Amino acid sequence: MSGLSVGLIGTGLMGRTHAQGWQTRPGVLTCVYAPDERARTFAREFNLRPCASTEELLDRVDIVDLCTPTPTHPDLAVQAARAGRHVICEKPLALTLAEADRIMAACRTAGVRLFVAHVLRFFPQYRAAWDQVQAGNIGIPRVLRLSRVSSPPAPGSWLLDEAQSGGVPLDLMIHDLDFARWVAGEVNTVYAAGRHHGGRTMVQVTLSHISGAISLIEGGWAAPAGVFRTALDLAGTRGVIEWSSDAPAALRRHGPQPEPRQLGAALPALAGDPYAAELLHAYQAIEEGLPFLVEPEDARAALALSHAVRRSLASGQAVGMEDA
């Protein structure tokens, strides 16, 4: 395959973010659809063709990029798959596991690829940390501490309706739940505690991994307006990797020095647009038949962890993952 064209559905924040990311490969993104007049303004800004319907967009492209609210993902993704179009879908894949399974089954049946945009795997700091773990530079991961706290969504946002967004566990914390599983493997049990007060929400989660590692994750819509902070701290049997968005250094590692043959080697440059990186990765994988860095099963597993967090919050008890 070559010269695959992409159509974007959705013109909100993530639609704009993806449109900007696609600009690093000019000519790939060709058209856009949204069910209101915003599509025309958006199309003019990014030099795209505005489509009057999803059917028109599907007739014109090879890949559909879904940047719409989570509850719309299943119907749009299934429609695209049945039309023989590959699907790139913003996270989370769906609101429920049954809906995620429906999307995955439709793509398998149609023989099309499905990529779920769990962008944290493409953030340079997180990817560099994962690479360091894979290289054995901190030994075996034992305790992971991950944090992601932002100001609450704007008043009236659909994200504030947990029936539509799944709240903090599905919309925000799912990033770090996915990363924890990526680094430390599958999870046995999940325990969560949270507090909602005055329009602000904080959630604390403990994951017990099959490997014996423990992940301590906090996430919340609780920061002052305009504030967003994220951090990682990965402790292993031979050292620690840590990074904070507040820290001046991009990434620090503590512990034994690398072997002499590695002396002087530097971490990769921690720069670049992770959204562009994930989209171009997905495009190349589809074009060349290569594996994705995030397979559909990974997206489903992250969604299952998010739902386990919600079940634990509701029950006040630890919950197992055996039924996910």
3-state secondary structure 83-131: CCCEEEEECCCCCCHHHHHHHHHHHHHHCCCEEEECHHHHCHHHHHHHH
Q: Where are the domains of the chain?
A: 6-117, 121-271+302-320
Q: With pLDDT > 70 as the criterion, what percentage of the chain qualifies? A: 91
Calpha distance 228→242 (Å, rounded): 18
Domain 121-271+302-320, what fold?
Dihydrodipicolinate Reductase; domain 2 (3.30.360)
**pTM: predicted TM-score of the whole model, two decimal places:** 0.91
Average the pLDDT over 304-317 and give the result.
Answer: 97
Q: How far from 167 is each of 197, 229, 287, CA to CA, in Å?
A: 14, 18, 35
Handedness of CA 245, 248, 250, 256 (dihedral sign): negative
Do domains 6-117 and 121-271+302-320 share one topology? The answer is: no
Tens digits of residue pLDDT in 227-244: 899 999 999 999 999 999
| Domain over 6-117 is classified CATH 3.40.50.720 | yes
* Start-to-end CA span in the chain (Å): 36
Q: For residue 226, what pLDDT is reported?
A: 87
What is residue 170's predicted lDDT score, i.e. its pLDDT?
A: 97
pLDDT band, residue 291 (cuts 50/70/90): very high
pLDDT above 50 (res 107): yes
Which pLDDT score is estimated for 269? 44
On the question of pLDDT at 246 being above 90, the answer is no
324: pLDDT strictly greater than 70: no
pLDDT at 260 over 70: no
The pLDDT score that the predictor gives to residue 175 is 98
pLDDT score recorded for residue 198: 84
175-222 pLDDT per residue, tens:
999 999 999 999 999 999 999 888 899 999 999 999 999 999 999 999
- Output the pLDDT for position 313: 97
Listed in order, strand segments (DSSP E) in the chain are: 6-9, 29-33, 49-50, 63-66, 86-90, 114-117, 141-150, 187-197, 200-209, 214-221, 228-236, 240-244, 252-254, 319-320
**Amino acid (1-letter code) at residue 279:** L
Strands 86-90 and 63-66: parallel
Residue 74 has pLDDT above 50, yes or no: yes
